[in-house]
């Protein structure tokens, strides 16, 4: 196998890639064990092709599991457009499940991601992942904004099933003040005091996904901050299933923020890419 790649392109002759496929509430990921540092990370065209649902494996994103000098492992996340991105909550839960499968820890783990250290536990079929502390919830006239490891624009609605998530989300994602950097866009409807429905347009995927972990986290904190609920343990219902978010508020800061839900192995295999 011969590989030549740089920041802009890659050329490879019959490259065989072993992979795992995982999903968390329908948010699906290609996971590659890269502890030997063989995967060409500066090949966005390759990553985009692997994530393509017609010509590749198909996924919302690709995750590399790598060695860490301080923790059990390191997570590197790429959106399906091939670009390395900010934190992915469901991806984080899925890579924890994979790391557990390959024997990197028993019940508890700590790993590093682009936004810092994360702690996680395996609880039956669920993975409970500690997210970063949230410093600020921005209240605007028609929306909220929260950075929960990734940026999230949040809109309240009373008819979430009628929302044109792709059309409206794309306008907001590319508009002011986000522009090229972009933001994920969430539409949320209150069901009960501790139950909210959420639909998310994800930048980098450039489409609605069945779930978004950092989005569920951001929405839960925003709803509490907006006094839409008094509960600090909430159910966030996505198109792909239910996620649980819990947190504490201390001195105008949200701490002990946890995202919990299923992280499921789907299949594994090998793919040959020219």
Question: Which residues make beta-bridge pairs with 260?
Answer: 128, 244
By annotation, the residues acting in catalysis are: 88, 212
Question: Which residues make beta-bridge pairs with 199?
Answer: 187
Please answer whether residues 112 and 130 qualify as being in contact, where contact means their C-beta atoms are separated by less than 8 angstroms. no
> Which H helix or E strand runs over 247?
strand 241-250
> Which H helix or E strand runs over 110?
strand 108-113
Q: What angle do CA 8, 11, 14 make, to 5 degrees?
A: 145
Q: What's the distance, CA 187 to chain centroid?
A: 17
Please answer whether residues 272 and 19 qualify as being in contact, where contact means their C-beta atoms are separated by less than 8 angstroms. no
Q: What angle do CA 273, 5, 61 make, to 5 degrees?
A: 55
Task: Report DSSP letters for 33-98, one per residue.
Answer: E-TT--S-TT-HHHHHHHH-TTTSS--SEEEEEE--SSSSEEEEEEETTS-B-S--HHHHHHHHHH
Q: CA 219 to CA 233: how far, in whole Å?
A: 12
């Amino acid at each position: 196998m011969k590989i030549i790649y740089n920041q802009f392109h890659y050329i490879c002759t019959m490259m065989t890639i072993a992979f795992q496929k995982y999903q968390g509430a329908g948010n699906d990921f290609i996971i590659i064990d890269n502890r030997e540092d063989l995967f060409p990370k500066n090949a966005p065209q390759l990553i985009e092709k692997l994530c393509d649902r017609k010509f590749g494996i198909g996924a919302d994103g690709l995750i590399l599991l790598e060695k860490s000098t301080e923790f059990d492992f390191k997570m590197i996340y790429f959106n399906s457009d091939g670009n390395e991105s900010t934190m992915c909550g469901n991806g984080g839960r899925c890579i924890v499940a994979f790391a557990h499968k390959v024997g990197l820890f028993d019940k508890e783990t700590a790993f590093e991601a682009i936004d810092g250290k994360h702690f996680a536990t395996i609880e039956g079929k669920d993975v409970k992942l500690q997210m970063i502390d949230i410093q600020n919830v921005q209240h605007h006239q028609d929306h909220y904004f929260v950075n929960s490891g990734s940026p999230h624009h949040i809109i309240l609605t009373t008819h979430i099933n009628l929302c044109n998530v792709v059309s409206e989300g794309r306008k907001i994602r590319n508009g002011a003040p986000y522009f090229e950097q972009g933001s994920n866009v969430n539409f949320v409807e209150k069901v009960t005091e501790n139950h909210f429905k959420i639909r998310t347009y994800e930048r980098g995927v450039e489409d609605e996904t069945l779930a978004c972990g950092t989005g569920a986290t951001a929405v839960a904190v925003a709803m509490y901050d907006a006094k839409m609920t008094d509960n600090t343990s909430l159910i966030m219902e996505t198109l792909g299933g239910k996620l649980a978010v819990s947190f504490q508020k201390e001195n105008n800061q949200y701490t002990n923020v946890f995202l919990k839900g299923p992280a499921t192995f789907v299949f594994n295999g090998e793919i040959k890419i020219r």
